[in-house]
Amino acid sequence: MTSPAVPILNFGGPAGRRIAVPDVVGKEKAEAEKILKEAGLRCRSQDAESFTPLGKVVSQEPAQGKTVPPNTQVLINIAIAPPGPPPDFDKLFKELKDAVAAASAELGQVRADVTQVKADVGSVKTEVTQVKSEVGTVNTHVTQVKADVVAVTTAVQTVETEVDAKGRHDVLVQKLDDIAAKLKSAGAGPGAAKKA
């Protein structure tokens, strides 16, 4: 289907008609030239090596839709066979198929690696949970040891108080014994010899 040339007025520049370049890619050379001429454009063609259908337009410059002044030259590139034998499409297809198979194998390995990483992350999470549990047990033991230390400290303070009280008693008994001995040696007090 031919794209009709659309005249466009250029209000922002010099007065004159502008033409939207029609699309001629994929057309035969003669048909492309005719479409461009009917649109008010000139055509210049050149050969372009391509494996697309021979004799057809493979590209154009300016591109379709670009607005240009009348009588602008449009370059069309016409497909010609490249020199040498055409490519071996069966071989190319096999190489492509082999490349896809290799990529699939690599993708499978990547998936296996990802699965292994997920398993490793799961193991690490389990170990972290175990460590947290062990830390909780240690914290419980530390709390018990602190309670035991408080109990021992209280017992020591009680013993110290009792020892301090007993020590005062022992000192008092010692002083009383000393006083009694002095009185005895002075001949007074209990157990002193009576003088006649």
Task: Give yes or no for a contact between 41 and 73, defined as CB atoms under 8 angstroms apart.
Answer: yes
**What pLDDT is attached to residue 189?**
56
Strands 7-9, 17-20: pairing is antiparallel
Burial state string for 75-100 with b = 16 or more CB within 10 A and e = fewer than 16:
ebbbbeeeeeeeeeeeeeeeeeeeee
In a domain, 67, yes or no: yes
- How many independent structural domains does the chain possess? 1
Contact assessment for residue 83 and residue 50, using Cβ atoms and an 8 Å cutoff: no
Is the residue at 108 inside a domain?
Answer: no
Helix (H, G, I), strand (E, B) or coil at 41: coil
Amino acid 10: pLDDT: 40
In-domain check, residue 16:
yes
In this structure, is residue 137 part of a structural domain?
no
Strands (E), the chain: 7-9, 17-20, 42-49, 57-61, 67-68, 73-80
pLDDT at 7: 46
Give residue 31's domain range. 7-80
72 located within any domain = yes
> Is 55 a member of any domain?
yes
Please tell me the distance from the alpha carbon of residue 162 to that of residue 119, in angstroms, as a whole number: 64
25 located within any domain: yes
3-state secondary structure of 75: strand
Q: Return the CATH number at 25.
A: 3.30.10.20
Can you give the C-alpha Rg of the chain in angstroms? Answer: 56
Along the 196 residues of the chain, how does pLDDT read in single tens digits? Answer: 444 544 444 443 345 789 999 999 999 999 999 999 999 999 999 999 887 788 999 999 999 999 999 999 999 999 998 877 777 878 888 999 999 999 999 999 999 999 999 999 999 999 999 999 999 999 998 899 898 888 878 877 887 887 777 777 777 778 788 788 878 777 765 555 555 4
127: in domain: no
Distance CA 52, CA 23 (A): 17
Its pTM stands at 0.39
